[in-house]
Amino acid sequence: MSIAPAIVDNLGGHRVLVIGDLMIDEYLRGDVHRVSPEAPVPVLDLKATEHRLGGAANTAANLQHLGAIVTVIGVVGDDDGARILTAALARAGITSHTCADGDRPTTRKTRLVAGGHQIARIDAERRTPIAGAIALAVVAAIQAETATADAVVISDYAKGVITPAIAAAAIAAARARGVPVIVDPKQRDFGVYAGATVITPNLVELERASGSAVGTLAEIDGAVGRLAAALGGAALLVTRGADGMTLYRDGARGPHVPATAREVFDVTGAGDTVVATLTLALSAGISLEDAMVLASLAAGISVSRRGTSTVGPDELRDAIRAGR
């Protein structure tokens, strides 16, 4: 499948609603020169603290960097993490509707980094599904914001925001307006996302959902076939790492796009980049097949960098030219 650089010109200006698990990616950077006398662990001499948008917020950042007008809906705690996250979203030009839940922390993944290498990670999170007034507030926000969206993303990181009821409300609201719904899945039951336009599992997520091995293409075919009846017509775009990505419709294998990365430094956030690029392309009326090509190119750029990152329109154009 060949596309022209001019296709990127169609991506800007579309309104995208992102619903899901908002996170902070925190990096504590420094040097290690000694081992602690208290335990056999390295002592990090802290030099800098960096915060990046993570999870659904990273998907939103990727969309915004590609030229979308982005709104996010999610849940935060009543804590300093919420203030860091909302301020970072505002700086990125992303509108946020965050519901504060005092019973959970704002999801934060803290990475300790020395000499460019991660030596530990600390996760602050609560995975309990949202309920009650918080869930009702999220549904109300979804119904209000979908009214002006050109596409909807369900960014599920299994931190409790995307319950079956929330997913159903988002998909129903989008379908009522005839706009695409793209799902980055974490549920074991993909039937939760029935009726979406496309679901984008990686191999681990596909194996978990199907309950069968997916080490070969034939096994992937079989796994998708077993899931097809529960998807309500949703396509599956299986992202296969170094083997690229393969599209399935109604359980049948369709187009395949090879991976484009020449060097892989860090796969953190690459799935968010794929989802963001795919979504924006579909919101612009670009075919799913061409959207796959753009998403593969964007992923190749993303994994060539360290940490979560975004990809811009000029980089996509350059990648298209380089591959022709």
Which residues are catalytic, by number? 272
Counting Cβ atoms within 10 Å, is residue 64 exposed (0-12), middle (13-18) or buried (19+)? buried
Element (H, E) at 267: none
Paired sense of beta strands 108-114 and 95-100, if any: unpaired
Are the CB atoms for 106 and 85 separated by under 8 Å? yes
For residue 279, the SS3 value is helix
Tokens 């998708």, located at residue: 224
- Which residues contact residue 34 at a Cβ distance below 8 angstroms, ignoring those fewer than 6 apart? 42, 43
Are the CB atoms for 127 and 158 separated by under 8 Å? yes
Q: Which two tokens stand for residue 124?
A: 């602050």
